[in-house]
Structure 1
């Protein structure tokens, strides 16, 4: 298994700089005026009658304007056609000896899970067999099920736990499923709805983290207690094997069982203490034993009984004089670690350079795949653990100017699929064999929009502190460099998430085809240049992220790609916070601002939904210096009644149990109080996203691009 985390839930290495004293004085002065009594706490009752009536009225007001625009119906139709297209690339997943795929179209609104052989998958007309039909299951169970994936027991992956979410929320119900018979297991494991984690210890035993009652969930709403559940016994009788602390404000405690292609197995628990700090424990016969790993690291997998770990901070193991650089990938002999968990003797697998940084590390049966970014250019390697214990690396022949990702591997063989995508290049998968380092075309989707008139450039802007910030521009080849082009600028800027080129058929069809320019900025806070690029914008250093984004906007105008009258920005989640900050700090810069599923109340975020799990990213109001800074950048608190703001589009979902809809509601309500114009849309389903199915998502995208058309294209 490969540990992953959800996040709010993608130049050079820069050392973090202390916030200037004068800057902190300004922040404190601002926070004094910003912290007024909160009139809108009533909107925090997410499904209460009064808040939902307010939502209904705001939705109707916005729909009456946007949905009546002439362009809306066509954009809605185009978006749905793209999302339902039979020409989409069916993403492959190796399970057992077959290729699986999850698919949505007009006949399968919530989607199906299906499988075929590798040989059939590579043909133009694969012969699929449906395994799970989420629409049929929803009708049977009278639930609005959204599939959240399968967690299968490795290496055979025949028994799985299927995660089923109501309306797309993070909380899910887990049910045991047999892939061979394509049926739910009669009397099998069932975990009732909740924010929960699980791992297969063996075919009759699960490791589970969930809500077991008082004191078993963190203040952020994630499980801190891990139990062992034996088949045939009541869930409530499962045996506790580890308990963290309710004040751990990361992503909860996560059980995991690593298996390699050689038959080795390692059971671990990750105790997520803060957003980016975790303790790791081996589950040994005499109980959990803490591994001597640094707090900032990720366990990536197991190969040849070597534990693979990526380091997010510089580290010198206990009792050793040899240190390892931040951003390195290391291996640790699992047998030695079990004998002495506190004193580890790592080997180097990969060391970052000034420009190249590790992204993904995933084992096959006998090798390891590694992807990197080299100045935001995708690279890929096959790593081999030699008989003398050394690691050898072979570079794979992936194309330049494309984003390269690991799609799927298997512990039963050495075949793998890499993804290849770019702004103007239809997505494809490359079939590789780690045994000989070969790579060949696998499957490519048809073009879903006309990109023949467009071109991509990679440019740099200079931020306020002199940092060079790269960004990509997708524009017409014959663009008039006179500032007249409608331009949409986006970024994320947080949680070490790397933003790289990607093929968005919806954006291409609804924006590029119609003459718009699209810009993706690689601002600090992301992971494009390793952990230090992320850390440069943590907590009270966060203004750098916002300065980076503003600098890209300025650079676009200076180069005359666009002008303020034609410049729009959009972002979601942490990117929604970015939009809120740019909205309040530089309202004169943007003609349109799309704020999606956002954080906006940064003095209240810690008590909203999973907010307290992000203190490691944003800081805490309990720390005076951090509270002062949060007050100085909090869009909800910095909104002014006499401000001259653009008219934003604010989008959220009632079913978002990660960030929650409260930030968007309160921000809109305060704008309403100040008689400031805005559009607001809150759909009931969709979780932390654009919709629970293609119809909902198509309407969301049509709404956004209609708004952008009104503001910067007409």
Structure 2
């Protein structure tokens, strides 16, 4: 993939691989963090310490009875689990070796089934799935709380896969080699102990691996720094180092392209979250590939793609950030810079990702935060032409190619999946072909609520600096702009992650159907309008994300959609930081705050678990000038006694080894110390999603909606 590291990091919010499994003791306080020395709650950073867990149990015991007392709690929890377990949900799949692979959870299989079907079988309303691995049976047999963390299959004629299994939903996982033919883990095969490992196949008897090899093998962020070549039959200690990043990097990685005739190995390092250095492995030597540091580069057969995050002046032309360029790979590696632009951004259009069939490049495009798709084809003369993919609009559209590059006569070489949804339309999955304008609808998610009489509109608020900030409003049936609608405002605003329209059975049943208005804000820091929209609100400009969110809240009140008494906000991870910051800055605007798996102590975020990897977004609090920016919005440091804050619900997980649970713990503890009301709940399992299975996810959602109605109900 062109941007496998950045995409995987952003998709998971802040990091997809790296960091030790759990921090068992507080991170050391260095001289550079003198302000932290006065922190009376450092002991809450001891994730599984007796004193810290006793505090957690005490807070959970105080919170649950209050929320479970809401008359809708039990019914909502039951309904949410029914929705999550629905056998009519779309079994999303990817194609490899003639099979469509899917991972599935339902009531009978809470941990899940890894299964597969042919396309002919998949087309049926009730496919006869070929179950490859039953995770519930495995967890029971091994007395482990396994959570599926993915599979990396070699493909081609090989039956070998590397399966990642997480304990309780943490990012750290165990890696074990699996044989698709025998449906068994391979005795004496490639196996890695629990860590945040990076692993990829070179061939059936060799893998590249980055993991915790011992002292010095991890970056400051806790991700792999060293990549080794590991041959079958060797102990891991005998693996040979082939590439190294630097201690201050986010991580190092390896990516193997197995396309016949175009086999390549690319190593790389990420100095920060938004930049990479890449090297092509040639004769056991890693040769650095020339590219802009923050550009994402990938190979596709004889071509190279370059996706720009900054303007690039090259070859007598300046290409704008947000562009996708294509060139001949061999010529590029020789130093030539002759490009064709497959995408250039406009004020309202941005690239939301791309994939390929055997001969086409498929682009996902955001047009005013609604999805469109294009297919680009190169003719015999090397000229590129575009064809629009006919699909529903407006809403969230995503197309992805199904071609398995390792299969010479792949029957799905020119096929793609297209998914579509919006706030009121359940997800659909269609099969497309580059030779046709028609989409064959394969699957549709069931309707989980009655949307009759509901409507959606897009509005714009004006931020503090004059920037127009879009937001969507979902109106329930019969709602009027009378200033009293219970309204939930959701935002994220970071890491170039876009917030797109989506269908939610939970919102439909527990919010819309009871008269609640839902608002999704597309604030700066996200990727809705390309890299510039993100870069406008990072580091010294991070406050602009919060200004945008506040502007949307003010506009909701000014337009009489709601008032401060009935307005609640919600966000997770970086979005948890968002709602924590605006709660502290403008407590008068809100009456409910759902703060999920948040960052909140921005003085120490870079010393907790994977936090050092996010300094490209926020800055380095150990540098006085940069702490000067961060200190102005860091929620934990800006709480004040005597101020009336809305009573927040703060939710985290003990097994969140990405964003340290101490952020949430310490914030709640300080609020209690200062006399502020706060509800706090910490799940033991769940990792960064605070839910290891559908039952836990349903429980968390039921707690959240009980809280929202207690705070915002008329």
**TM-score over 0.5 for the alignment?**
yes
- The answer on whether the counterparts of 1:35 and 1:637 sit within 8 Å (CA) in structure 2 is no
Residue in structure 2 matching 1:290, options 288, 291, 297? 288
- The answer on whether the counterparts of 1:95 and 1:156 sit within 8 Å (CA) in structure 2 is no
SS of aligned partner of 2:312: coil
Q: Which residue is 1:593 aligned to?
A: 593
Is 1:241 the counterpart of 2:242? The answer is yes
SS of aligned partner of 1:323: strand
Residue 155 (structure 1) shift: 5.1
- The answer on whether the counterparts of 1:331 and 1:349 sit within 8 Å (CA) in structure 2 is yes
Deviations 1:409-437 (A, max 9, x none): 22231211111111110101121112445
- The answer on whether the counterparts of 1:155 and 1:410 sit within 8 Å (CA) in structure 2 is no
Q: Which residue is 1:620 aligned to?
A: 620
Name whichever of 479-488 and 38-47 sits farther off.
479-488
Q: Which residue is 2:301 aligned to?
A: 304
CA distance in 1, matches of 2:419, 2:388: 16
Q: 1:329 to 1:157 in 2, by over 3 A?
A: farther
Q: Which residue is 1:6 aligned to?
A: 9
Deviations 1:328-355 (A, max 9, x none): 11124333455x3x66544322222222
Q: Which residue is 1:53 aligned to?
A: 54
Residue in structure 2 matching 1:362, options 341, 352, 355? 355
Residue 553 (structure 1) shift: 0.7
Deviations 1:65-114 (A, max 9, x none): 11122221111111111111112111122121121211111100111111
Q: Which residue is 1:450 aligned to?
A: 450
CA distance in 1, matches of 2:105, 2:205: 33
TM-score normalised by length of structure 2 = 0.93
CA distance in 1, matches of 2:338, 2:284: 23
Residue 327 (structure 1) shift: 0.7
Residue in structure 2 matching 1:314, options 295, 311, 315? 311
What is the total number of aligned residue pairs between the two structures?
Answer: 685
Q: Structure 2 stretches of 5 or more lacking a match? A: 14-32, 405-409
Q: 1:182 to 1:346 in 2, by over 3 A?
A: farther
Q: Which residue is 2:369 aligned to?
A: 376
CA distance in 1, matches of 2:67, 2:477: 31
Deviations 1:344-396 (A, max 9, x none): 54432222222211111112222221101011110111122333233222110
Q: Which residue is 2:269 aligned to?
A: 271
Q: 1:680 to 1:109 in 2, by over 3 A?
A: same
- The answer on whether the counterparts of 1:367 and 1:435 sit within 8 Å (CA) in structure 2 is no
SS of aligned partner of 2:631: helix
Deviations 1:460-493 (A, max 9, x none): 1111111110111111242121112111000100
Is 1:133 the counterpart of 2:142? The answer is no
Is 1:151 the counterpart of 2:152? The answer is yes
CA distance in 2, matches of 1:572, 1:282: 37
Q: Which residue is 1:646 aligned to?
A: 646
| Equivalent residues in 2 for 1:72-471, closer than 5 Å | 72-154=73-155, 158-248=159-249, 250=250, 252-260=251-259, 263-299=261-297, 301-317=298-314, 320-338=315-333, 340=334, 344-407=337-400, 409-411=402-404, 412=410, 413-436=413-436, 438-471=438-471
Residue 407 (structure 1) shift: 5.0
Q: 1:173 to 1:35 in 2, by over 3 A?
A: closer
Name whichever of 161-170 and 398-407 sits farther off.
398-407
- The answer on whether the counterparts of 1:95 and 1:157 sit within 8 Å (CA) in structure 2 is no
Deviations 1:112-143 (A, max 9, x none): 11111212212212111211111111112221
- The answer on whether the counterparts of 1:34 and 1:637 sit within 8 Å (CA) in structure 2 is no
CA distance in 1, matches of 2:247, 2:623: 19
- The answer on whether the counterparts of 2:656 and 2:690 sit within 8 Å (CA) in structure 1 is no
- The answer on whether the counterparts of 1:314 and 1:325 sit within 8 Å (CA) in structure 2 is yes
Q: Which residue is 1:23 aligned to?
A: none
Residue 35 (structure 1) shift: 7.6
Deviations 1:277-313 (A, max 9, x none): 11111111150011111111223x5333212221111
Q: Which residue is 2:72 aligned to?
A: 71
Residue 182 (structure 1) shift: 2.9
Deviations 1:599-645 (A, max 9, x none): 00011101011001000000111332210111110000000011110
- The answer on whether the counterparts of 1:147 and 1:163 sit within 8 Å (CA) in structure 2 is yes
SS of aligned partner of 2:500: coil
Residue 527 (structure 1) shift: 0.5
- The answer on whether the counterparts of 1:303 and 1:366 sit within 8 Å (CA) in structure 2 is no
SS of aligned partner of 1:417: strand
CA distance in 1, matches of 2:340, 2:64: 59
- The answer on whether the counterparts of 1:34 and 1:631 sit within 8 Å (CA) in structure 2 is no
Q: 1:49 to 1:36 in 2, by over 3 A?
A: closer
CA distance in 2, matches of 1:150, 1:233: 22
Q: 1:288 to 1:59 in 2, by over 3 A?
A: same
- The answer on whether the counterparts of 1:110 and 1:693 sit within 8 Å (CA) in structure 2 is yes
- The answer on whether the counterparts of 2:477 and 2:515 sit within 8 Å (CA) in structure 1 is no
- The answer on whether the counterparts of 1:432 and 1:438 sit within 8 Å (CA) in structure 2 is yes
Q: Which residue is 1:491 aligned to?
A: 491
SS of aligned partner of 1:523: coil
Residue 444 (structure 1) shift: 0.9
CA distance in 2, matches of 1:571, 1:236: 43
CA distance in 1, matches of 2:222, 2:699: 31
Residue 219 (structure 1) shift: 0.7
CA distance in 2, matches of 1:429, 1:606: 40
- The answer on whether the counterparts of 1:383 and 1:393 sit within 8 Å (CA) in structure 2 is yes
Deviations 1:688-710 (A, max 9, x none): 00300011111000000000010
CA distance in 2, matches of 1:316, 1:141: 57
CA distance in 2, matches of 1:155, 1:581: 50
CA distance in 2, matches of 1:266, 1:191: 25
CA distance in 1, matches of 2:173, 2:397: 30
CA distance in 2, matches of 1:137, 1:344: 52
- The answer on whether the counterparts of 1:83 and 1:506 sit within 8 Å (CA) in structure 2 is no
SS of aligned partner of 2:485: coil
Deviations 1:146-203 (A, max 9, x none): 0011112245674321110000111111112233443323332112211111111222
For the aligned residue pairs, the C-alpha RMSD in angstroms reads 1.9
Q: Which residue is 2:28 aligned to?
A: none
| Equivalent residues in 2 for 1:618-697, closer than 5 Å | 618-697=618-697
SS of aligned partner of 2:319: coil
SS of aligned partner of 1:138: helix
CA distance in 2, matches of 1:159, 1:415: 25
